[in-house]
Structures are given as C-alpha cells and as structure tokens.
C-alpha cells in the first residue's frame, strides 16, 4: 500500500502540490487524471524520491520514501514522462545499463532483458539503436526499462504521449496484464478515456489539489445529472420541439438541442417515439456522463484546453 500524507511541494514560482493525501492499495490500477501543469509528474517524482517534499510524507508499506532512502526504490518501477533512453545505444544496451543499476547479476540480467523485450515485442529489434525506433517502439522500450527489477509497484507518467492508436492499445493491454499479474500500477494521464478504460480508481488533480477521487462510478455520480440526449438541428427536428419537451427539459444550445430527460424516462419509449415521427437515429446522440464533464463541473474548465 502506498500512503501519501498531506504532501506539499513548492517551486519558486508555483505551489505544485498543495496538501495532497491519497491511499493506493496493493494491486490497484490507480489513475491520476489532470490537465497540464496539475502536478502529476511532481507527485510521481516525490514517489520515487527524486525530489523531496516541503511538507508531508509518502510511505510504501510503512517504509518512508525520501531522497536518501535508496533501498526502497527497488520496490518501484518508474516510467518517466519523457523517453528516458540513450538514443545512440541499442535497445539491449539500454536495458543492460539500467538493469545493472539495480545490481542484477549479468547472466540473470540477460535473461530478464530478453523476457522483457519479448513482452513488448521488441526482441527482434534488440540490436537496433533506439534513435531508429518509431515513437511507439520507444514508448514500449521506455516501459520495459522500468520493469527489469520486477518491481511491486509501477509508476507510469503519461506513458502513451505521442503514440498511434495501435501502439497505444498494445501498451494498454500490456499494463492491464501486468496489473492482473499482481503489480500495483499508478498511471497519470490527461486523457479521460485512458483513465476510464484502465483505472479501477481515479483521483482528479488540478492546480496541485486532489479535487475528487474514487471509482469511476463513484466519480460520475457526483455529476448532477446522468444523461443528456443530444439532438442535431435540422428541419425535421426543428418541427418536433414539442415532442422532445414531452420527454424532458430541452435546452437550445448553439449547435444542438440538449435534452435532459425526466427521471422516469425509458430510452426504449423515447426511441420508439422518434421512429414513429420519422426522426433519423443519426440525428440523435446519447451523451453519457464522463470524467470530462465532471472535471468541467468541478473546475469550470475543460481537461484539455
């Protein structure tokens, strides 16, 4: 278990973390969702003891993490936000360098490297220089380099930035698998889709403060309404405004109508009525509550500006 207790971190021009407290349980896939500059990386840097906090403490299984506690770092694998690899060295050489720092014996290290390269589908490319890798390959190697010492906890700081959808899915699958195998994963992102898809629990961070945390369902329940039905504006729909109003509260927004349905509404009834009145399904969109909406609701701003 990782306990973050009342952590504050100030930089000369900004308070990056302001009295942050979180608990992350073993084997959890924990998401830290927040916009640029929210303090996600700063929190990660504190969790590996790269920097020290101005106030508060972080513990992993009762052991305090600090800049001076080097031993505790063996329990943690860290995937930096940037691609932290030597460009001019090969994939294999990179892993040799970083693995050796954990004191893994040479023979064992070779086997471990081969296994980890295999798991991210880079074994065939082990003798290629990193600078010749695609963005997605670099990202996968960036993760593999953090797993050589088989850590209990894996911290991933936006591990999919700048990656095509296919590679991104491969990375997701791999992380989910690692989690299933028993690793605790802490994952930062500013993509709400990623947090929704991967994380069993999520904390939303903004301007150095945790503004909300819980499971996805718990978080979404914080939204004052559950559903919105979006209706395109066209000749047919414009002539049926009374019909829509019979199902809920209709708001005339700029591009679309937004229908906030009454509590008892059954979607089947609604769609049946639409069919009867000749309204095309394509003009209608069900808008589910999202973390994005929650963030907007809590902060008045969007996650990604």
Partner 1 sequence: MKTIFHLIKKDYKLFWLDKPAVSLTFLVPVVLIYIFGSIFGRPDTAPTGIRIGFVNNSNNKIAKKLESVLDTTKTFKLVKNYTDDKGNVIKFDTNSIKDYVIKGNISAALVLPEDAFTDTSTSFKIKFYYDPKNQMEMQIIEGLLQQTVMMQMPGIFMASMQHKAKEYLGEQKGIMFNKKIASLVSQYYGVDTSKILNWTNFNFDEDTSDADTSKKTANVFKDILQLDKEQLVGKEVNNPNATRSVGGWAMMFLLFALTGASTSLFDENKSGVILRILSSPVSRTDILWSKYLYNISLGVIQLLVLFFMGYLLFNIDIFSNFFNLMLMIIAAASACTAFGMLIAAVSKTSAQANGLGTFIILVMSAIGGAWFPTFILPPFIQALSKGTLVYWSVEGFLDVLWRGANTIEILPYVGVLLGMSAVINIFSIIRFKKGNIF
Q: Within 260-289, which residues bind partner 1 (CB under 8 A)?
A: none
Out of 45, 167, 184, 228, name the contact with partner 1 by CB under 8 A.
45
Q: Within 72-101, which residues bind ligand ATP (CB under 6 A)?
A: 81
Residue 32: strand pairing partners:
188, 203
Q: How far, in whole angstroms, is CA 255 from its chain's centroid? A: 30
Q: Please say whether the dihedral angle defined by the alpha carbons of residues 114, 116, 118 and 120, taken in this order, is positive or negative.
A: negative
Whether 235 contacts 211, CB under 8 Å: no
Out of 50, 59, 172, 271, name the contact with partner 1 by CB under 8 A.
50
Q: Which stretch binds partner 1 (CB under 8 A): 24-32, 44-52, 191-199, 217-225?
A: 44-52
Out of 2, 28, 33, 39, name the contact with ligand ATP by CB under 6 A.
39
How many residues at the interface with ligand ATP, by CB under 6 A?
13
Length of the chain: 305
Q: Which of 270, 262, 191 is nearest to 227 (CA)?
A: 262
Whether 140 contacts 170, CB under 8 Å: yes
Sheet of 2-11: strand order equals 14-24, 2-11, 55-60, 63-64
Between 127 and 146, how does the x/- string for binding to partner 1 read (CB under 8 A)?
Answer: ------------------xx
Using CA atoms, how far residue 208 sits from 6, 224, 285, in Å, is 12, 25, 35
Residue 111 touches partner 1, criterion: CB under 8 A: no
Q: What is residue 71's DSSP assignment?
A: G
Nearer to partner 1, 77 or 261 (CB): 77
Out of 22, 28, 30, 42, name the contact with ligand ATP by CB under 6 A.
42
Instruction: Tell me how crowded residue 96 is: count the other CB atoms within 10 A of its CB.
Output: 17
Q: Which of 180, 185, 189, 181 is nearest to 160 (CA)?
A: 189
Whose tokens are 């009295």? That residue is 19
Rounded to whole angstroms, how far apart are CA atoms 219 and 40?
19
Out of 30, 78, 133, 270, name the contact with partner 1 by CB under 8 A.
78
Nearer to Mg ion, 84 or 251 (CB): 84
Between 31 and 70, how does the x/- string for binding to Mg ion read (CB under 5 A)?
Answer: ---------xx-----------------------------
Residues of the shown chain interacting with partner 1 in the complex, contacts defined by CB under 8 A? 45, 48-50, 67-68, 70-71, 73-74, 76-78, 80-87, 98, 101-103, 145-146, 149
Residues of the shown chain interacting with Mg ion in the complex, contacts defined by CB under 5 A? 40-41, 81
Residues of the shown chain interacting with ligand ATP in the complex, contacts defined by CB under 6 A? 11, 14, 16, 34, 36-42, 81, 190
């Amino acid at each position: 278990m990782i306990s973050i207790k009342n952590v504050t971190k100030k930089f000369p021009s900004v308070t990056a973390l302001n009295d942050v407290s979180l608990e992350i349980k073993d084997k959890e896939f924990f998401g830290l969702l927040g916009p640029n500059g929210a303090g996600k990386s700063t929190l990660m840097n504190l969790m590996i003891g790269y920097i020290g906090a101005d106030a508060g403490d972080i513990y992993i299984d009762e052991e305090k993490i600090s800049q001076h506690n080097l031993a505790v770092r063996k329990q943690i694998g860290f995937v930096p936000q940037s691609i932290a690899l030597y460009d001019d060295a090969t994939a294999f050489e990179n892993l040799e360098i970083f693995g050796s720092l954990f004191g893994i014996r040479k023979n064992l290290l070779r086997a471990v490297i081969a296994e980890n390269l295999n798991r991210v589908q880079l074994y065939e490319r082990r003798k290629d220089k990193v600078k010749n890798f695609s963005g997605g390959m670099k990202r996968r190697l960036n993760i593999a380099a953090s797993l050589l010492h088989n850590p209990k906890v894996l911290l991933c700081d936006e591990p999919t930035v700048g990656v095509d959808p296919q590679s991104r899915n491969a990375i997701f699958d791999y992380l989910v698998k690692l989690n299933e195998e028993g690793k605790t994963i802490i994952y930062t992102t500013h993509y709400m889709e990623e947090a929704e898809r991967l994380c069993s629990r999520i904390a939303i961070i903004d301007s150095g403060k945790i503004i909300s945390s819980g499971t996805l369902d718990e978080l979404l329940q914080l939204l004052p309404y559950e559903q919105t039905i979006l209706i395109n504006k066209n000749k047919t729909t414009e002539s049926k405004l009374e019909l829509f109003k019979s199902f809920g509260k209709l708001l005339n927004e700029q591009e679309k109508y937004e229908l906030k349905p009454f509590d008892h509404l059954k979607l089947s009834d609604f769609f049946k009525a639409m069919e009867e009145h000749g309204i095309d399904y394509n003009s209608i969109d069900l808008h589910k509550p999202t973390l994005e909406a929650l963030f907007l609701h809590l902060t008045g701003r969007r996650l990604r500006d």
